[in-house]
Amino acid sequence: MMLSLFDQFASPMLFGISLVALALTLPWVLFPKPTTRWLNNRLLTLQGWFIIRFTQQIFQPINLGGHKWAAILTSLMLFLITLNMLGLIPYTFTPTTQLSINMALAVPLWLATVIVGMRNQPTHALGHLLPEGTPTPLIPILIVIETISLLIRPLALGVRLTANLTAGHLLIQLISTAAFILFPLMPTVALLTTILLFLLTLLEVAVAMIQAYVFVLLLSLYLQENV
């Protein structure tokens, strides 16, 4: 029996060795590989259609200079979706519930977009810190506020993904525990709780995909400001 609700988010250990690296490597093994045949199977065709549609939707409003990021952001989208979906399988570990891992993904990519903007168009990038037509007395305050809002972006990316997935996992555990305890006492209530658990699981599947999409979408918006 688990000692705490949050024990499920602890990093798995085997012989004193953390298995986080293995959990992060597993999604790349599960992706279907291209074949040498002229016609692909249904899975490869579906994967290719998804990648093409996602890339078109994300990069349509971005200049041609930002299309170099297509491979990185599309790979990140597939990686996050796979990690989030695998985490919904019982007795598995979800790496994206760890704030440190999400920040390790968010900070370098956000910093890369900022560096690209500073290198390609420094005047435009710095112009975001001071809106046009600002009264002179408010200039120092607005510069500080805009700088803080800029620096808090990677934190918001990591916290949003962590909080949504953690909350969903906790709700699933609480409702499943309630259904298990209520089954011998009140079977009807336990059955209704099980139906609620099924609906919540479907919702969490949607949340797992949506949060991965939002993570990459916000990164593309930050990139759009700097290219």
The answer to whether position 203 is within a domain reads yes
pTM attached to this predicted model: 0.83
- % of the chain beyond a pLDDT of 70: 92
Helices (H), ranges, the chain: 20-30, 42-59, 70-86, 99-120, 122-127, 139-151, 153-182, 187-226
CB-count burial class (<10 Å; 0-12, 13-18, 19+) for 214: middle
pLDDT in tens, 133-149: 777 787 888 888 888 88
Whose tokens are 């990069």? That residue is 59
Q: What is the pLDDT of residue 1?
A: 44
| Interior angle at CA 43, CA 37 and CA 46, nearest 5 | 105
- How many domains is the chain built from? 1
Is residue 2 assigned to a domain? no
pLDDT band at 128 (very low <50, low <70, confident <90, very high): confident
Q: How confident is the model at residue 103 (pLDDT cuts 50, 70, 90)?
A: very high
Q: Which residues constitute the domain of residue 74? A: 7-225
Q: What percent of the chain has pLDDT over 90?
A: 21
Length of the chain: 227
Please state whether 18 falls in left (phi above 0), alpha (psi between -120 and 50) or beta.
beta
| Residue 167 maps to a domain | yes
Look at residue 121 in the predicted model and tell me its pLDDT: 83
- Give the pLDDT confidence of 34-91 residue by residue, as tens digits: 777 777 778 788 888 888 888 888 888 888 878 888 889 988 998 899 888 888 888 7
Over range 148-169, report the average pLDDT. 90
Going by C-alpha positions, the residue among 158, 75, 63 that lies closest to residue 117 is 63
User: Residue 8: pLDDT band by 50, 70, 90 thresholds?
Assistant: low
Residue 43 lies in a domain: yes
Q: Residue 197 domain-assigned? A: yes
Residue 3 clears pLDDT 60, i.e. is over it: no
